[in-house]
Copies of this chain bind each other. A is one copy, B any other.
Amino acid sequence: MLIPVIMSGGAGTRLWPVSRKAHPKPFMRLADGQTLAASTIRRALAVGDAPVTLTVTGRDYYFLTRDEYQAVDSSADHRFLLEPEGRNTAPAIAAAALWAEQLYGPDTRLLIMPADHLIRDLDAFSEAVAHAEALAADGWLTCLGVTPTHAETGYGYIRSGQGIGEHGREIRAFVEKPDQDTARRYFESGEYLWNAGMFCFRADAILAALETHAGDILEQVRATWAETDAEAAPVELDAERFARVRPDSIDFAVMEKAERRAVVPVDCGWSDIGSWQAISDLYETDALGNRVQGEAVLVDTRNTFVQGEKRLVAAVGVDNLVIVDTGDAVLVATRDRAQEVKAVVEELTRNNDELAVFHRTVHRPWGNFTVLEDAEDCKVKRLVVKPGGILSLQRHQHRSEHWTVVAGEAKVRVGDEERIYGANETVEIPVGSLHRLENPGDEDVHIIEVQTGSYFGEDDIERLEDVYGRT
């Protein structure tokens, strides 16, 4: 049995301002209108033959990820292992292996897949997975190694050796990101493959290798697992124990040292979508080398990528730029240095600037809200409540709220009164009143909320009951 295990961790700071901590790269929509999370689960469902998929992620991303998956296939059984904090891939994979061993037996094959990569050729990928699984079944710790298309300096490489059967090769070494000359030599040799973080192994094989090469990590993860309720949905790794686990990558902790390592070369239109340049490469250029998503007016502009949202982007006489516009921030970078945007995120983080973390649209388990106005005298939001979504029973000390329903039918409790409100109806929620908003229907509820008062922070919410466990 092959269980796809999706690793969904990093924040993708090189794709700011679209990717932010609260809404990172897996949830970005690409040219095809799909999020990477949706593409990844679709790929997982295509190659797995187990009754479940497993995703290892943080608690903050659980509801968002689940919603993405359900939109792809609501009947599939998506399981989650939630990390209280990220400890890199070795502990995450160790936990996934313990989970699989306990629920499905030691010879379960795990296919480790990053959540935020792009694979254009699903057939080629599926075929490589089948070969990797065959090797994994035989006890090999197997990588999928991406056949290089150019002399890239931004990735680590896997040096392959002699063949194992028809489709695999032994791994001679894992090597770090090379300089330009070395990358060219790797590319021309035909021996080297890109390390894309995709692995396939039996649960017992990876646990045995962890035991040998990173015994302390496995020991602490086992201790965590012993305190974790494996039957819960989602499974939440015990925070106190997991905090003691040494963070390390599976590459460094195990793969670089282990025996019986195999690699299956795969040429599947892979991209790690690691920068705005990589994103722009997904689009066709016009005659002047420009690529535009959104509304733009370009005057004598060349080799420039524009990604807009609602606003117009105008460019005059520029060349070789990346311009990315969002509701609250705009990035202008030269194309070949676009990945240095992570320095912007670092500065914002140092300044505790929320632009490093949140968008104007903030996702919640019940739906989302978008801030339309944030001023001294009021705050205005659009609330979107999903079918079945229920906000916490709450009250505020410093603000009144005025809700106007603009779409759907909302069930609203204010004080002890509860009734249904439809489009064009308003609800008043005085300071200090208990209230709760719920969508009992089967279409989204949209509400414009006008907050008046003296303070509008998200911390002025006293939650008395919450179906999502946020009290």
Give chain A's interface residues, CB within 8 Å of chain B: 16-17, 297, 299-300, 310-318, 321, 323, 325, 327-334, 336-338, 340-341, 343-344, 347-348, 353, 355, 372-373, 377-378, 380, 382, 400, 402, 404, 406-407, 423-424, 426, 428, 446, 448, 450, 452-453
A330 touches B314 (CB 8 A): yes
Report yes or no: B315 in contact with A333, Cβ–Cβ below 8 A.
Answer: yes
Indicate if the CB atoms of A452 and B330 lie closer than 8 Å: no
A355 touches which of B312, B331, B347, B378 (Cβ 8 Å) = B312
Q: In the complex, are the beta carbons of A316 and B297 less than 8 A apart?
A: no
List 5 A–B pairs whose Cβ atoms lie within 8 Å, in order of A's numbering.
A313-B332, A316-B337, A317-B337, A323-B332, A377-B423
CA distance A344 to B402 in the complex (A): 41
Enumerate chain B residues within 8 angstroms of A311, measured Cβ to Cβ.
Answer: 327-330
Which of B297, B336, B380, B453 is the one whose CB lies under 8 Å from A372? B380
Which residues on the B side are within 8 Å of A317 (C-beta)? 333-334, 336-337, 340
Q: In the docked arrangement, what's the CA distance between A17 and B311, Å? A: 12
Interface SS of A by simple majority: strand
A324 to chain B: closest residue by CB: B314
Min Cβ gap A423→B in Å is 6
Q: Which residues of chain B have C-beta atoms less than 8 A from A348's C-beta?
A: 297, 312
Given contacts A317-B333, A332-B318, contact A450 B450 (CB under 8 A): yes
Q: Which of B318, B336, B372 has a CB less than 8 Å from the CB of A333? A: B318
Q: In the complex this chain forms, how many copies of it are found? A: 2
Chain B contacts for A404, CB-based, 8 A: 378, 402, 450, 452
In the bound complex, CA of A152 to CA of B337 (Å): 36
Chain B residue nearest to A306 in the complex (CB): B332
Output the residue of A332, A343, A406, A424 with the most chain B CB within 10 A: A332
A299 to B347, CA, bound (A): 10
Residues A332 and B344 in contact in the complex (CB < 8 Å), given A402-B426, A406-B452, A424-B400 = no
A448–B448 Cα distance when bound, in Å, is: 10
**Residue in B closest to A452 when the chains form the complex, CB atoms:** B424
A316 in contact with B330 (CB, 8 Å): no
Q: Whole-angstrom distance between the alpha carbons of A336 and B340 in the complex? A: 26
Contact of A406 among B328, B332, B337, B450 (CB under 8 A): B450
**A334 engages B318 (CB within 8 Å):** yes
Q: Which residues of B contact A407 (CB under 8 A)?
A: 377
CB of A347 within 8 A of CB of B297, answer yes
Known: A312-B330, A317-B336. 14 other contacts (CB 8 A): A297-B344, A297-B347, A310-B328, A311-B327, A312-B328, A312-B353, A315-B332, A318-B334, A372-B373, A372-B380, A373-B382, A404-B452, A406-B452, A424-B453
Residues of B near A423 (CB, < 8 A) are 377, 452
Question: Nearest Cβ distance between residue A456 and chain B, in whole angstroms?
Answer: 11
B377 contacts A380, C-beta separation under 8 Å: no
Measured between C-beta atoms, what is the minimum distance from A313 to chain B in Å?
6
> Closest CB of chain B to A335's CB: distance in Å?
9
A318: chain B residues within 8 A (beta carbon): 321, 332-334
Min distance, Cβ A292 to any Cβ of chain B, angstroms: 13
Residues of B within 8 A of A325 (CB): 330
Given the complex of chains A and B, what is the CA–CA distance between A433 and B347 in angstroms?
52
| A316 and B299 contacting across the interface, CB-CB below 8 Å | no
Q: Is the CB of A312 within 8 A of B329?
A: yes
Nearest chain B residue, comparing its CB with the CB of A372: B372
A334 shortest CB reach to chain B, Å: 4
Q: Is the CB of B344 within 8 A of A314?
A: yes
A162 CB to nearest chain B CB (Å):
44
Minimum CB–CB distance for A96 against chain B, Å: 37
9 nearest A-B residue pairs (beta carbon)? A317-B337, A316-B333, A378-B406, A312-B329, A372-B372, A317-B334, A314-B344, A404-B450, A377-B406
A334 to B, closest residue via Cβ: B317
Residue of B nearest to A408 (CB): B377
Q: Roughly how many angstroms separate A304 CA and B329 CA in the complex, as a whole number? A: 17
The residue on B at minimum CB distance from A312 is: B329
Give the residues in chain B near A450, CB-CB below 8 Å: 404, 406, 448, 450
> Which residues of B lie under 8 Å from residue A316 when comparing CB positions?
331-334, 337-338, 340-341, 343-344
Q: In the assembly, what is the distance between CA of A453 and CA of B404, in Å?
A: 12
| A426 x B428 contact (CB < 8 A) | yes
B321/A448 in contact, CB under 8 A:
no
